[in-house]
Structure 1
Amino acid sequence: MVLTESNYETSRRGSIEVICGSMFSGKTEELIRRLKRAKIARQRVEIFKPAIDVRYSEENIVSHDSTSILSTPVDNSHSILLMASGVDVVGIDEAQFFDDGIIEVCTELANNGTRVIVAGLDMDFRRVPFGPMPALLAIADDVYKVHAICVKCGHLANYSYRLVDNDKRVLLGEKNEYQPLCRRCYLQEMQERKEKHHEE
């Protein structure tokens, strides 16, 4: 079928794609890659990130390898609906930091024919499912799990090990605060930390 202005809206197929993994696994890099391809295809794209994430830039989404794309920082998920009306593709980074309303927002956008691409940490530093991510994974049409490399042994890493003593769940950080570890190395580090605290 040849798309015309009149039948374009009815031909759009909405979907939810979730890219998940630990820190340093390439989630944001994969998100940016998909969004840039959509732009090359001349699709209308809007990109959002939580306003609290100002590690590299206040406005850009920036991966750990410095790949970047312009985005709109928002304080809550509802703001995305207000600004994403009529676009073809919506990109959302660091979804774990959003309120639970992000689930309904993504669903409504997809139901209205928008391709929604979401990236986020599936687990926090304690290996506990993070924020709205479990629900987003459940409703996704497509899930893409990426892996980092364990800095201790070189195997695939699933976990974001926190190097600093801080129990706050949300602690924005980089290589000085976190490192990717596999299951065995994570458990070993946690055991060594526990023994060290016991000695102190």
Structure 2
Amino acid sequence: MIYSERNHPIQQKRGSIEVICGSMFSGKTEELIRRLKRANFAKQRVEIFKPKIDTRYSEDEVVSHDKTAIRSTPVESSGSILLMSGDVDVIGIDEAQFFDEGLVDVCTQLANQGIRVIIAGLDMDFKGVPFGPMPALCAIAEDVFKVHAICVRCGALAYVSHRLVDSDKRVLLGEMTEYEPICRDCYNASKHQE
């Protein structure tokens, strides 16, 4: 604890990194928005960023699949987050898997400056492979919160966002018509049917 000249405790900013991860339709963005709205309610200065390529629901809002939304700033690269973060207490980052690997250093710098960084993103791509900077972010985070969708085929906890359309592109924006959350067993069974 740090004290002022009059021996009063001084509030010290403590930076941290929180990661919310899981498959599509698991509530990652909804949880990110909930945490950011709580910070806003507590009168903390909040800034939210998302990758510019994510225009599914809105160009300038982070929007969950159930249409809950919060204003955000779309950016081209992780470096832009450092340039645009300004004087804030909390930074939210959605769809982190779409950012470059530099996001890990950006989040570390922000946390070291005393900023609470809350990140949401897919931990794996449609093939079940760790996605973008997410594995490294999970490794350096103080808190990792994994959320699960329910397998649409059997009702177990979902493991992966299974792609329903024929495309091998790693990044393919989509919703329920392009992806479904399925468990490990159903995913393995679907690979044998292909």
The normalised TM-score by structure 2 is 0.94
State whether structure 2 residue 89 is matched by structure 1 residue 88.
Answer: yes
Q: Which amino acid aligns with 1:85?
A: G
Matched position secondary structure for 2:174: coil
- Specify the alignment match of 1:188 in structure 2: 189
- Specify the alignment match of 1:160 in structure 2: 161
Deviations 1:91-110 (CA, angstroms, capped at 9, x unpaired)? 00000000111000000000
Q: Which amino acid aligns with 1:119?
A: A
- Specify the alignment match of 1:107 in structure 2: 108
C-alpha distance in structure 2 between counterparts of 1:146 and 1:119, whole Å: 10
- Specify the alignment match of 2:126 in structure 1: 125
- 1:164-183 alignment runs, 5 A limit: 164-183=165-184
- Specify the alignment match of 1:44 in structure 2: 45
State whether structure 2 residue 77 is matched by structure 1 residue 76.
Answer: yes
State whether structure 2 residue 145 is matched by structure 1 residue 144.
Answer: yes
Identity %: 70
State whether structure 2 residue 59 is matched by structure 1 residue 58.
Answer: yes
Identify, as 1 or 2, the structure richer in helix. 1
Moved more, 26-35 or 82-91: 82-91
- Specify the alignment match of 2:33 in structure 1: 32
Deviations 1:11-45 (CA, angstroms, capped at 9, x unpaired)? 00000000000000000000000000000000000
Shift of 1:8: 9.9
Residues 102 and 8 of structure 1, relative CA distance in 2, 3 Å threshold = farther
Tell me, which stretches of 5 or more residues in structure 1 are unaligned? 194-200
Matched position secondary structure for 1:11: coil
Shift of 1:80: 0.5
Shift of 1:86: 2.0
Shift of 1:192: 1.0
- Specify the alignment match of 1:196 in structure 2: none
C-alpha distance in structure 2 between counterparts of 1:149 and 1:167, whole Å: 24
Matched position secondary structure for 1:116: strand
Matched position secondary structure for 2:185: helix
Tell me, which stretches of 5 or more residues in structure 2 are unaligned? none
Deviation beyond 2 Å, 4+ runs, structure 1:
7-10
Q: Which amino acid aligns with 2:54?
A: D
Matched position secondary structure for 1:188: helix
Shift of 1:83: 1.1
C-alpha distance in structure 1 between counterparts of 2:59 and 2:128, whole Å: 28
The CA RMSD measured in Å over matched residues stands at 1.9
Deviations 1:81-125 (CA, angstroms, capped at 9, x unpaired)? 111122000000000000111000000000000000000000000
